[in-house]
Chains A and B, each alone.
Chain A
Amino acid sequence: MKLEELKLLTYDIRSDIVEMIGRAESGHPGSSLSMVELVTALFFEIMELRPDEPDWPERDRFVLSKGHGVPALYSVLARAGYFPLDKLRELRRLGSPLQGHPDYSRLPAVEASTGSLGQGLSISAGIALSACHLDKNFHSFCLLGDGELNEGQVWEAAAFAAHHKLSNLTAIVDYNKFQLDGPVDEIMQMEPMVDKWQAFGWEVQEVDGHDLEQVVEALHWTKDSDHLPRCLIAHTIKGKGVSFMENNNKFHGKAPDQQELADALAELRKARQEVAG
């Protein structure tokens, strides 16, 4: 897909996100909006997938370790063709496969159940490990939150992956600088983040997580490793794309009300039109 098309898609996905969460009257808009370019690049440019055959054994795998950002994943999956777009209306509804946090057992293409932070990178490492036992070449991607890096298990997994030279494993950090109760550097400082990953034996790149060209290029770089796991630290803005949500931690775990939803959708529509020309 051309970069321009990918760019337009990010506006559609952001609209999906605020609409889904607004309709559900609960969810995590800030963290969903910050990761949009990352999952857009993965699902439409980087990963080998067959949406009409979600359990295709050769597929690349994506684990959303920061499970609360799942509206972004649901939107991407729907737009990639895994299920109809109108299913997005069912987010968080009783009986829906679109659970409040990702559930492996209810929705194909969701590769892990997450929601208790810190667990996804271990699962992704296990998936990466399975490739050599199954004699497959798939790549395992894991998207983590910055606050999530507080969890010790992440660093257990980081050590394991480097020790076993899991070159088919990529960690992506959605570094939006906020966790639930406030700024990451006030709650639990994770800097120097690049040094941490490098010290654990990973190769690291930093990118502007909203610059699709940079993101795509860097993700290709992570996928091309032949000796070590690679980590992409994506500097992002929490709430990106909706001006009154950007860097406004009020929208970490709060749905927009009717007026806010209308304002957000209008802003995204206008921005999309400007890009579309």
Chain B
Amino acid sequence: MKFEIGLATRDAYGEALRDLGDEYSDIVVLDGDLSQSTKTYMFAEKFPERFYNVGIQEANMVGLAAGLASSGLTPFVSSFACFLTNRAYDQMRVSVVYPRLNVKFVASHGGISGGEDGATQQSIEDLALMASLPEMVVCVPADEHATRALTPQLMEWESSCYLRTGRPRAPIVYQPGVDLKIGRAEVLREGTDLTIITCGLLVAEALEAAEALAAESFSVEVVDCHTMKPLDKKTILQSAQKTGAVVVAEEHQVWGGLGSAIALLLGENFPVPFKLIGIEDTYAESGTGEQLLDVYGLTSPYIAEAARGLLS
């Protein structure tokens, strides 16, 4: 199964945010001296008066966003996922989420596929941290089209949102103009023997794994759970009830991410044989994104193997 390689989700986000600026005059964008990498520079070029490069101060940046939001503006705040969610977690918690302010956090370089810069610039804890904040919306789009579909919808939520984008160019799994909805998981491939639930860059890997398993006569369903929170419980439970086995694959540490959320859902409602593919309680290292996904066991062969383990 070959996918066309599209834009990185961060690039699609940069374009989508720039376009959103036309529609919403209340959007103010903050970046922590990474606008060339997070792609908020596209917004900055078009709307310089509504863009603040705050320098390398994530904590202050999130506080500024709280003040802007309390005055009725809609701040979009960007940095690398590791810096925004780790360095400024307490500011997100106390200054923004606890007072129920509406700030959109969009962080690039999610997961380990950022690659060569090494573990300090990668982010394997962000989903756990963000999902633990009450009422926070947490999204991980798979490709450029998903990013374009989901970004404008951030404006429809009155609560704060976290959207994770990635550094590498991403395989295209959706059609242009695809109708995705925050909070609604997408069944990308129907099957009856097992469900693979995933998000982000691993959606393509999961589809490849399903294809490989089809060659072995297994009918595998693939669900893109691009919104980790609020979790689409209905779609996930229906799929689990249909197939009776679930593999979750995520570019995140196994503790506290999408897999944990789905294990909780299934454990409480419909326990089925379950396997989680993620980063096993360790930090990654330098290497190309492709190498790291392989070395840390997140590519389609590993997903297929986990599925075989449940199917046998």
Q: Bound pair: A and B? A: yes
Query: Number of B residues whose C-beta is below 8 Å from A?
Result: 31
Secondary structure type dominating chain A contacts: helix
CA distance A153 to B55 in the complex (A): 13
B245 neighbours in A (Cβ, 8 Å): none
Pair A115/B94 contact, Cβ less than 8 Å: yes
**What distance in Å separates the Cβ of B67 from its nearest Cβ neighbour in chain A?**
2
Q: Does A15 contact B (CB under 8 A)?
A: no
Interface residues on A, range: 20 to 34
What is the bound-complex CA distance between A128 and B64, given in angstroms? 9
Q: Which 5 A-B pairs have the closest CB atoms?
A: A126-B67, A122-B63, A130-B71, A104-B99, A156-B60
Stretch from A38-46, A105-113, A172-180, A261-269 forming part of the interface with B = A105-113
Check B73–A153 contact: CB distance below 8 A. Answer: no
Is B100 within 8 A of A130, CB to CB? no
Contacts of A119 in B (CB 8 A): 59, 63, 66, 90-91, 94-95
List which B57-106 residues lie within 8 A (CB) of chain A. Answer: 57, 59-73, 75, 90-91, 93-95, 98-101
Q: What are the residues of chain B within 8 A of A160 when measuring CB–CB?
A: 54-55, 57, 60, 64
Q: Which residues of B contact A112 (CB under 8 A)?
A: 66-67, 70, 95, 99
- Residues on B facing A (Cβ under 8 Å): 28, 50, 52, 54-55, 57, 59-73, 75, 90-91, 93-95, 98-101
List the interface of chain A (C-beta within 8 A of B): 103-105, 111-116, 118-131, 133-134, 140, 152-153, 156-157, 159-160, 163-164
Least distance between B160 CB and chain A CB atoms (Å): 12
7 contacts between A and B (CB under 8 A): A104-B70, A116-B94, A118-B59, A125-B64, A130-B72, A134-B72, A153-B60
Q: Known contacts A122-B62, A134-B73; decide if A113 and B67 are in contact (CB<8 Å).
A: no
Most central of B61, B63, B67, B100 by chain A CB within 10 Å: B67
Report whether A134 and B91 are in contact in the complex, using a CB–CB cutoff of 8 Å. Answer: no
Would you call A113 and B60 a contact (CB within 8 A)? no
Residues of B within 8 A of A157 (CB): 60, 63-64
B73 close to A113 (CB less than 8 A): no
Cβ–Cβ contact B91 & A153, under 8 A = yes
Instruction: Determine the distance from Cα of A157 to Cα of B63 in the docked complex, in whole angstroms.
Output: 9
Contacts of A113 in B (CB 8 A): 94-95, 98-99
Q: In the complex where A104-B99, A113-B95, A116-B94 touch, is A122 in contact with B70 (Cβ < 8 A)?
A: no
